[in-house]
């Protein structure tokens, strides 16, 4: 693998997210707020989290995924991004999500109604210090139709508050419905070695030229809590072959699912950030992929 002083997110290749070119290896901001963002615990050190953001930009990361509901007792991801990176680099694309809602104490409340989405968009604008949002994903919370919610976001796009729209936690029928309302530049769904059931949406996005952005590609079943289970022997074997870490193998496998796939691994650790970005240069062999693909076929 590459040494830390030669690592670059550009090694993963690029994709047009709407009209914005981004490196396919990005950064998820959820873990910057620490383990207490969604669970009890003490948030990680603020200075270290800020260093992750600064180092990410230095390494060529120009796609950061965040949300106003990413916050802990001590900080919010959006506020940290603003205070650390503003004035923002011209090539930086910040993607955020709306739909879910949390109270001031962190408790989840009822998802936003269509008429409340403008308030959520404006909250992200204030926290990030922007006059428009590059990409806003509508995070679905089990609703059968996206029409009213996506229509409300389309109006905000027409008003200039949002540049591009996407979906999160969506099914193919949601995507088809949304496309009758406004262009969709990305779909952000759970997908990875341990979650192959997202392959249908992966293929749908490829056919339509839409970015597919998997989350929990490293964490797997641990989801927001991070990695909680022992790694598969197959992943460890491939990692040893390349002198890489299991996390790098998972990211390389994810990126290898198509040129339209964007990875957004999250971390609050600068060293882990470097390792994650370096995964963009890892090229798996056909035999590697055969071994790793078998994990998905046997996943529960």
Phi, psi of 192, rounded to the nearest 5 degrees: 175, -175
CATH number at residue 21: 3.20.20.100
Return all residues near 100 (Cβ < 8 A) that are at least 6 apart. 67, 69, 108, 111, 112, 139, 141
The pLDDT, as a whole number, for residue 93 is 98
The pLDDT of residue 293 is above 60: yes
The pLDDT, as a whole number, for residue 225 is 42
The pLDDT of residue 300 is above 60: no
**pLDDT band at residue 7, thresholds of 50, 70 and 90?**
very high
Higher per-residue pLDDT: 245 or 224: 245
Which residue range is the domain that position 122 belongs to? 4-298
The label of the residue with tokens 């739909």 reads 99
Per cent of the chain over pLDDT 90 is 80
Question: Please, what is the angle between helix 270-278 and helix 46-58, to 10°?
Answer: 30
Q: Is the peptide bond before 87 cis (omega within 30 degrees of 0)?
A: yes
> Known catalytic residues?
70
Are 107 and 147 in contact, with CB atoms under 8 Å apart?
no
* 158-187 tens-digit pLDDT: 999 999 999 999 999 999 999 999 999 999
The pLDDT of residue 116 is above 60: yes
Q: How far apart are CA 266 and CA 172, in angstroms?
A: 26
The pLDDT of residue 222 is above 90: no
Domain count, the chain: 1
The pTM of the full predicted model, rounded to 2 decimals, is 0.92
Find the mean pLDDT for residues 55-71.
97
Higher per-residue pLDDT: 268 or 34: 268
């Amino acid at each position: 693998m590459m040494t830390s002083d030669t690592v670059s997110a550009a090694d993963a290749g690029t994709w047009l997210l709407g009209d914005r070119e981004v490196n396919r290896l990005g950064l998820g901001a959820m873990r910057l707020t620490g383990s207490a963002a969604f669970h009890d615990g003490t948030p990680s050190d603020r200075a270290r989290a800020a260093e992750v953001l600064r180092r990410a930009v230095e390494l060529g990361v120009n796609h950061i995924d965040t949300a106003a509901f990413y916050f802990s007792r001590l900080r919010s991801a959006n506020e940290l991004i603003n205070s650390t990176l503003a004035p923002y680099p011209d090539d930086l694309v910040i993607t955020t999500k709306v739909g879910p809602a949390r109270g001031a104490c962190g408790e989840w409340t009822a998802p936003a109604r269509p008429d409340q989405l403008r308030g959520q968009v404006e909250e992200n604008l204030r926290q990030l210090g922007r006059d428009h949002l590059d990409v806003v994903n509508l995070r679905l919370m089990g609703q059968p139709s996206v029409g009213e919610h996506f229509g409300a976001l389309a109006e905000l796009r027409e008003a200039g508050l949002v540049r591009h729209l996407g979906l999160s936690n969506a099914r193919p029928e949601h995507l088809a419905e949304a496309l009758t309302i406004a262009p969709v530049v990305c779909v952000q769904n759970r997908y990875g070695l341990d979650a192959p059931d997202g392959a249908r949406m992966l293929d749908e996005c490829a056919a339509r030229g839409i970015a597919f952005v998997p989350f929990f590609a490293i964490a797997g079943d641990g989801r927001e809590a991070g990695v909680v289970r022992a790694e598969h022997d197959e992943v460890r074997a491939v990692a040893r072959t390349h002198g890489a870490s299991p996390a790098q193998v998972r990211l390389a496998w994810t990126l290898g699912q198509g040129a339209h796939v964007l990875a957004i691994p999250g971390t609050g650790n600068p060293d882990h950030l470097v390792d994650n970005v370096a995964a963009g240069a890892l090229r798996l062999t056909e035999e590697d992929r055969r071994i790793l693909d078998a994990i998905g076929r046997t996943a529960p």
